[in-house]
Amino acid sequence: MKLLFLGTGSAKCKRLEEDQIPEGARRCSSMLIDGSIQLDVPIHTYDFLVKHGIDPAGVTDIFLTHSHDDHFCKETFLRYAKAGERRLNFYCNTGALEYLGLTKEEMALVNIVTFEAMDTFEAAGMTVTALPSNHIAGKNEQTLHYVFEKNGQKLFYGLDGGWLTGKEWNYLYKQALPIDCAVFDTTCGEQPGNFRIGTHNTIPMVRLLVEAFNENKVMGEGGKYIASHMGPHIHGVPAEETARILAEFGVIMAYDGFEIEI
């Protein structure tokens, strides 16, 4: 799998026009798999692809983690829906639909697939398992993490969510292993007392997750750990220092435009 990080920040990232975003700044978090499968659709993703010479019409499938507006921007989503000749596939938790603000006419523009947490299904040439994350969005919505399996490789995508839920860990520990790459939420950085501790990770929490994944052989040999979804207003340390700290226990700090093959 080839991963391209379209954004690596949290909800408080500056919402400027693409051409006004300072060099090195973080956009709201999103990621592209193999050039066609996108995770979340926040405000800047469409223009960011264009900026890097990638045709947004090449995005055929979008998976939503949850309905918060730093992960779903209706206007950006509709730009994807209307791009090119293909019919866009959109995947989300059943309960999330009511919080996206889409009209019946807008929903008719795409192929919508809904599912529940712990469902496993085939989509976009992959086997996908939706896992319940420890995060809070719409009242009737279950926020999600994902495991994607393609050509024998497994990717865990765990942005937005503090730690792991019991069901989620049980699946990773007993069924998903070994995985080849884990993308962890690192919103709160070095601020362990931040009130978001129940729904977002700190760097020390990521360290413990890495230790648990390694000790229980959830991560395969040579697997990669990546940190994303960093809150610039609460992270507490500069990017260079964050990268150094994470590297001490084997985690790569992602940045907007970061590419890696697993």
Partner residues linked to 141 by β-bridges: none
Question: What residue segments make up the domains of the chain, in order of their start?
Answer: 2-261
pLDDT of res. 46: 96
Q: What is the pLDDT of residues 78-101, one digit of tens each?
A: 999 999 899 999 999 999 999 999
Distance CA 230, CA 185 (A): 7
Looking at per-residue pLDDT, the higher value among 11 and 222 belongs to 222
Distance CA 186, CA 101 (A): 28
Q: What is the pLDDT of residues 45-80, one digit of tens each?
A: 999 999 989 999 999 999 999 999 999 999 999 999
Q: What is the pTM of this model?
A: 0.95
Q: Which fold has domain 2-261?
A: Metallo-beta-lactamase; Chain A (3.60.15)
**Dihedral of alpha carbons 62, 64, 70, 72, sign:** positive
